[in-house]
Structure 1
Amino acid sequence: MSRNVTDHHSIMDENRENKRMKQEGSERKKIKGTVVLMKKNILELQDIKASIVDGVDEILGHKVSLQLISAVHGDPAKGFRGKLGKPAYLEDWITKVTPPTVGNSTFNVTFDWDEEIGAPGAFLIKNFHHNEFYLKTLTLEDVSTHGEIHFVCNSWVGPAEHYKKDRVFFTNQTYLPSQTPAPLQHYRKEELENLRGNGTGKLAEWDRVYDYDIYNDLGNPDKGLKHVRKILGGSTEYPYPRRGRTGRPPANSDPKSESRLPLYASLNIYVPRDERFSYLKMADFTAYALKSIFQFLAPEFEALFDRTPNEFDTLEDVLKLYQGGIKLSSDSLLNTITEHIPFEMLKELLRSDGERPFKFPFPQVIKEDKSAWRTDEEFAREMLAGVNPVVIQRLQEFPPTSKLDPKLHGNQTSSITEEHIKNSLEGLTIDEAIQKNRIFILNHHDTLMPYLSRINSTSTKTYATRTLLFLKKDGTLKPLAIELSLPHPDGDQCGAVSRVYTPAEHGTESTIWQLAKAYVAVNDSGYHQLNCHWLNTHAVIEPFVIATNRQLSILHPIYKLLHPHFRDTMNINALARQTLINAGGMLEKTVFPGKFAMEMSAVVYKDWVFTEQALPADLVKRGMAVEDPNSPHGLRLLIEDYPYAVDGLEIWSAIQTWVKDYCSVYYKTDDMIQKDYELQSWWEELRHKGHGDKKEESWWPKMHTRKELTDTCTIIIWVASALHAAVNFGQYPYGGYLPNRPSISRRFMPEPGTPEYDELESNPEKAFLKTITAQLQSIVGISLIEILSRHSSDEVFLGRRDTPKWTTDTEPLEAFERFGKNLALIEDRITKMNNDEYWRNRVGPAKMPYTLLYPSSEIGLTGKGIPNSVSI
């Protein structure tokens, strides 16, 4: 439909409405309104031309119209939809002075309102400009018998020609479906239908469609076999949570795979319009593209990468990354950068503040003590208070066994014996230590063993590891033994070939022990990034974002509860699929599983169960806690000083209380849960579409009771906020110093009589550094995790909302205020515990307080703060 035709129809509608109102002889009243929005022309230079045209349009006639919709009276001629008021227009669009930078503009609007129509519950808006704008709020003043009425919009409103249905916004009131005023019910249902789309076609930038797809967009088969990857989702072999559908056409060489965007268009991958980063967030995130320059390099880069042109010779060389910056010595690499990096990016690379290239902030783990990371105590402490404190388990049988199928993998039982550890148990026997809950294990064996032959056929050379630890009387852990395992040379079916290493403090044995710990760290780094971080937070939450927008109206109480916890998730995940987890992306270049990375995470997803994502259930499953009704939170931790669990249970309890208080306002009985058709449709779709490969009924609550609703929403909020914070924002503080958490190993453990072993004896630091991540890969990896560990300038943290008027209901607002105060008390407790020397695991040898579950934070690289959502 052309713009002129659209304008003509709008004028005809207005004339008909005027005639009807005059015939009814209705009394009219003027209602003043205030609209807050952001004009796009102040945000994007490329839209200046469209903005000039819009200015001319405004001279010729009104171009942004709003019509109030009655929540009281339906129009019989239109199926009893809420009656429409007369169109009103934004005033002073041209003369209004707008900020020169990103900011709000406020406009007045005056409505003619028929008292007989009654109070408004929604409004329609039509934008006949060439540009979209971001509509934040509409506030009506002095509405008869109602006072102020507020609409929270927070949505991009594009040109009317982009929409098949007019854009509708509702007041900030909350209604269950059965309680929705009859005149608004049609608008409520129609808006959800619009958001679902029709499941076909390529989706455009302005579309608002939420739909599902499988992960068939990671590979790029049109570039050749090297870029082919497994399709994840839709199969029992490689199950996966669903992603947002883009509707891009299939690849030319494989109709089952989706075609990919060219690299220069990576930031424009489709997500529903309102899921895109804000301009402030995008400005911050652009730093990722600038600093991660290696994505933009020509094929020469890969050749340089394969030859590892630069090595760290000493640990002092590594420190130069943070103390003075380093320059890569390869002239060909620098020439490649100069030839292929746009000038603006090169400026950022070289920095304007006088710093040398590739200088990074000091990671916290070496800020106070440059060598504490090497101690056994810090190595073990980080399993309880590091960036990945969610894997360690209590050992319940000795020797550790395997769940791998012996027909395929032979005997995979651990080769650690009593002789290896019996003298390190403070006088206890192994059986006594197990019975007293004193032995723990970090076990990456079963996940990695099926892939090791393929992984080690590349430039990576690594092991599957098991690490046993002992809980000392002082509450700290010490490593007992590390087992490094490889597949049998005669075939995987022949079992594992393993070697066990025990702690050593001096000579060559000490260097070998440090290498053994490094292989453990490599395992843990990769498992963390792929599974604990990406899969268990980013990937599993995306279906909840999609289903919530498809099945729960913005008026629904559960939508209002959950919506803040979905902010930016679809956008960051889409960017990850485009540049991070894709074939040849940064994850494959910097984490040891390489091209098998995402395939491995799909295998791990087979064991994912929604109810086990609750923190108490997870701690019990891992044997880190036992149920105890006399203990706080109903659990007794078996390691009292387990900072992640201690702080996490406080946060979990606060979220649970808030959710329970909130849900009890709207659901007085279990019967109300069962009769809420939007809620039931939401839950059905999540289980059978969003997580469609995980349909086993026993893995999910039935959604029949208020407790099931409360538990479900608590898990969703926990995963999206606190769990993600715990496994994400410590990446740079702990892993920014690669020797502490190397992500790749390039050589096996040296054997006596080999040149590598001789080097290990003569120059242990160089041998260590030649085994772990190379210099160039280190720079790429550090650049990435520095960005991913930062809070953007527009972040919204747990216990806060981006608008105080998100509902009109008093009880939820009061409960939310209590939630915020509770989180403030938790912050105080965390600070006090970190300052109490009794809790040795909270600070440790690195003198690095555990703050990853400290709820609030400043912007930037802070190592603390819990954002509401998986936003980076």
Structure 2
Amino acid sequence: MSYENAPPVVPQHNLAGEDVKRGTRHPSLPQNDSREQREQRREQIAATSVEYQWTREVASLPGVPLATKVPSDDQPSIEWWFKVLEVGLKILDNIAAVQLHPLFSGLSEAAQKIISDALEDGQEVRSKVDALREKHRVDSAGPGLESSIEQATQAADIEVLKGHESILRDIITAIVDVLKAEEAADTRSIEAYRDLYQTIPAPGIAYTFLDDDQFARLRVAGPNPMLLQGIGQIPENFPVTAAQYAAVINGDKLSDALAEGRVYLCDYKELGVLVDGVWQGQAKYIYRPMALFAVPPGGASLKPVAIQCGQDSSRYPVMIPSVSASEKWGWEMAKFVVQVADCNYHELFVHLGSTHLVSEAIAVATRRNLANVHPLWALLVPHFEGTLFINNLAVETLINAGGPIDAFFGGTITSSQLAAVKARLSFDFFRKMTPVDFAERNVADPAKLPDYPYRDDAMLVWDAIHDWAAQYIDIYYKDDDAVTGDTELAQWATSIASEGHIIGFKPITSRAQLTDVCTMIIFTASAQHAAVNFPQRTIMTFAPAVTGAGWTAAPTGQKGHDKGEWLDYMPPMSLALEQLSSLFLLGSVYYRPLGDYRTNRLPYETWFQDPAIIGTEGPLARFQAGLRAVEERIIARNEKRMHPYVYLQPSQIPTSTNI
């Protein structure tokens, strides 16, 4: 069905009477409204702007444009609270079981009492959550059901749940603090790290992380698939020789691989902003390695070729894979150095800086510049649900002094904060668009890099969102002149670029450009966040595989190391438990999948009301059908892949950045 020649939309709205908690039945552009209606729009935007204001003075993220507060419309739904608390209680059960393990024996009586009291509080929280779940008839296995509960009662119950969340957070913090202070021993072994999973299943990577192929696979299907760069020549400060390359990739020449575009680099030089920190008197280390990978002739998947554990080649020699007894553990140390760097780059640059904080800027600009009868307001607002709230919570509890980033990441908290600030303020909107990003990193061609699950699945989702945005926009903008004539759109774009400090954002002059912009906003808030968030549970909870700090200086030679020295690089057991608990929570909450547009308050009504959008053959139905087709294609791909990639299945992509 084509919307190119659809009849013009005649605005019929009465702004004062609209249900502004959901998309309006009669969206309109300001140039199509009467003078009176335009004045109503201006008044509504002015009133909303009182609630949504900018600040760049949040101490933990200085200079980043954020909302001054979290307005009531951006508070999470009661269904979201249920999901978060359910995961939190699982974490509490696991911590309770871990503290009984012999590794943590010898706790003082005072410490044991703290834990006992905390577990009693946790049981009380569990009982109250179960009672509220029954009251609201919310099924933990699926979306919330309709309820006749009054809005006022629901709001009160949300406040109760928020109080329980605070209690739960305090319980977990208290237990982990006790373990930090009182643990009887810190005997590190891979078995001991696996024993931290008592009531929570250990992820598969806990048994495969030493495999070199798994190490390479993380660049294309792990938490950070965004750094890999195709190169045509070896960097001067990373002097990998032809002989070293040939020793790893049998039957291949480095010159041929470079000429054919089969060589790839991960360079962590941007971590130079980080300063090594200290935890309880112990030095922590941040590394800035370089790692080289290649696809063998006729092959499909990356192979690790070489690692240099720092930027200075005169200090850090090139290391290559080796099974030699004298070189094996030096190679494992080098891989661990890369994983520490990747963890920092992932959390600070890719996750926090390039999804959470980017979406917040656009969310605030949208509320402040688009009337709630504007069609783009209805299209975009569901993709910001919960973002301001979760970002505010992260500022208070995650990236603050004494929080998890301060504890198990290697940099001082101030330098970690500044790294996230740098990532956010250097985010280039148009260059980061998924197809553009792949092209700029020289990873777009499946013929050269066949095995890149993130790329292949991301493009399916990107295209589905792009089709949805194009069809939606064509309903309301009959031509490019309608785009340039939209004064609210122009002000919105200006606000994103200036007040929101999104570099590269420019005036929008065509329907095609507007489609790309909306696709990027939706993709970033949903699919991109899912791709970098949910591996936190399945990959990043196991510290020997991925962690935020090294606990000894990077090796300056490959020979002569043993397993004990390798284990010394890993975090103390209590910090490994804190990492497990924090990232399990962040990577376990799936709330409202992409394409499911509903309000965030009971009875969770459908969001869109315009018949032109919600008709049986309209854009929304086509989008949902397109997502089902993408799901089927990814499932079919995973049946053929040696290792399934599930993070971009639409059923596993939340609509917004809400955790």
Give TM-score scaled by structure 1 length: 0.61
Q: Choose between structure 1 and 2 for higher RCO, CA contacts under 8 A separated by at least 6 residues.
A: 2
Does 2:92 match 1:244? no
**What amino acid does structure 2 have at the position aligned with 1:211?**
Q
Secondary structure in structure 2 of the residue aligned to 1:442: strand
CA contact (8 A) 2:339 2:545 kept: yes
Matches within 5 A, 1:563-574: 563-574=381-392
Unaligned runs of 5+ in 2: 1-9, 127-167, 173-194, 599-604
Output the CA distance in 2 between the equivalents of 1:637 and 1:320. Answer: 50
Output the CA distance in 1 between the equivalents of 2:87 and 2:412. Answer: 21
**What amino acid does structure 2 have at the position aligned with 1:664?**
D
**What amino acid does structure 2 have at the position aligned with 1:243?**
L
Deviation of 1:176 after TM superposition, in Å, equals 1.0
Does 2:391 match 1:579? no
Deviation of 1:443 after TM superposition, in Å, equals 1.3
Other-structure match for 2:291: 467
Unaligned runs of 5+ in 1: 1-71, 74-118, 125-150, 156-169, 198-208, 219-230, 234-239, 246-269, 294-317, 402-412, 488-494, 627-635, 844-848, 857-864
> Are the structure 2 counterparts of residues 462 and 183 from structure 1 closer, same or farther at C-alpha, using a change threshold of 3 Å?
closer
CA contact (8 A) 2:274 2:416 kept: no
Output the CA distance in 1 between the equivalents of 2:113 and 2:556. Answer: 38
Does 2:611 match 1:809? yes
Residues 216-257 of structure 1, C-alpha deviations (whole Å, 9 max, x = no match): 332xxxxxxxxxxxx621xxxxxx3x1111xxxxxxxxxxxx
Deviation of 1:750 after TM superposition, in Å, equals 6.2
Does 2:580 match 1:796? no
Other-structure match for 1:740: 545
CA contact (8 A) 2:245 2:253 kept: no
Does 2:633 match 1:832? no
> Are the structure 2 counterparts of residues 824 and 644 from structure 1 closer, same or farther at C-alpha, using a change threshold of 3 Å?
same
Matches within 5 A, 1:371-450: 371-398=207-234, 400-401=235-236, 413-444=237-268, 446-449=269-272
Other-structure match for 1:528: 346
Other-structure match for 2:111: 334
Other-structure match for 1:232: 62
CA contact (8 A) 1:326 1:357 kept: no
- Aligned counterpart in structure 1 of residue 73 of structure 2, from 274, 290, 310: 274
Residues 682-707 of structure 1, C-alpha deviations (whole Å, 9 max, x = no match): 11111110117x3xxxx223211112
CA contact (8 A) 1:440 1:470 kept: yes
**What amino acid does structure 1 have at the position aligned with 2:417?**
M
CA contact (8 A) 2:277 2:283 kept: no
More helix by share: 2
Other-structure match for 2:306: 481
- Aligned counterpart in structure 2 of residue 121 of structure 1, from 14, 22, 36: 14
CA contact (8 A) 1:569 1:870 kept: yes
Output the CA distance in 1 between the equivalents of 2:333 and 2:97. Answer: 22
> Are the structure 2 counterparts of residues 334 and 640 from structure 1 closer, same or farther at C-alpha, using a change threshold of 3 Å?
same
Output the CA distance in 2 between the equivalents of 1:687 and 1:483. Answer: 38
- Aligned counterpart in structure 1 of residue 201 of structure 2, from 362, 370, 382: 362
**What amino acid does structure 1 have at the position aligned with 2:72?**
R
**What amino acid does structure 1 have at the position aligned with 2:305?**
L
Residues 137-184 of structure 1, C-alpha deviations (whole Å, 9 max, x = no match): xxxxxxxxxxxxxx64438xxxxxxxxxxxxxx952211112235554
CA contact (8 A) 1:320 1:326 kept: no
Which structure has the greater CA radius of gyration?
1
Other-structure match for 2:410: 592
Other-structure match for 1:852: 647
Other-structure match for 2:627: 823
Q: Give the aligned CA root-mean-square deviation in angstroms.
A: 3.4
Output the CA distance in 2 between the equivalents of 1:752 and 1:516. Answer: 10
**What amino acid does structure 2 have at the position aligned with 1:416?**
V
> Are the structure 2 counterparts of residues 336 and 194 from structure 1 closer, same or farther at C-alpha, using a change threshold of 3 Å?
farther
Does 2:4 match 1:174? no
Output the CA distance in 2 between the equivalents of 1:186 and 1:647. Answer: 45
Does 2:456 match 1:638? no
CA contact (8 A) 2:98 2:104 kept: no
**What amino acid does structure 1 have at the position aligned with 2:656?**
S
Deviation of 1:363 after TM superposition, in Å, equals 4.0
Give TM-score scaled by structure 2 length: 0.79
**What amino acid does structure 1 have at the position aligned with 2:44?**
E
**What amino acid does structure 2 have at the position aligned with 1:448?**
L
Q: Percent identity between the aligned chains? A: 26
Matches within 5 A, 1:83-122: 121-122=14-15
- Aligned counterpart in structure 2 of residue 684 of structure 1, from 454, 474, 494: 494
Other-structure match for 2:188: none
Output the CA distance in 2 between the equivalents of 1:371 and 1:556. Answer: 52
CA contact (8 A) 2:290 2:308 kept: yes
Other-structure match for 2:325: 507
> Are the structure 2 counterparts of residues 671 and 122 from structure 1 closer, same or farther at C-alpha, using a change threshold of 3 Å?
closer
- Aligned counterpart in structure 1 of residue 474 of structure 2, from 664, 683, 686: 664
Matches within 5 A, 1:538-617: 538-595=356-413, 596-605=415-424, 607-617=426-436
Output the CA distance in 2 between the equivalents of 1:321 and 1:385. Answer: 32
Other-structure match for 2:21: 154
Secondary structure in structure 1 of the residue aligned to 2:62: coil
Secondary structure in structure 2 of the residue aligned to 1:682: helix
> Are the structure 2 counterparts of residues 777 and 424 from structure 1 closer, same or farther at C-alpha, using a change threshold of 3 Å?
same
CA contact (8 A) 2:484 2:490 kept: yes
Secondary structure in structure 1 of the residue aligned to 2:315: strand
Deviation of 1:442 after TM superposition, in Å, equals 1.4
Residues 465-519 of structure 1, C-alpha deviations (whole Å, 9 max, x = no match): 11111102331111111101277xxxxxxx8621221111242422221121111
Other-structure match for 1:782: 580
More strand by share: 1
> Are the structure 2 counterparts of residues 743 and 451 from structure 1 closer, same or farther at C-alpha, using a change threshold of 3 Å?
closer
CA contact (8 A) 1:372 1:378 kept: yes
CA contact (8 A) 1:565 1:720 kept: yes
Other-structure match for 2:49: 196
Deviation of 1:452 after TM superposition, in Å, equals 5.3
Deviation of 1:791 after TM superposition, in Å, equals 2.5
Secondary structure in structure 1 of the residue aligned to 2:357: helix
> Are the structure 2 counterparts of residues 751 and 648 from structure 1 closer, same or farther at C-alpha, using a change threshold of 3 Å?
closer
Deviation of 1:773 after TM superposition, in Å, equals 1.8
Output the CA distance in 2 between the equivalents of 1:828 and 1:193. Answer: 45
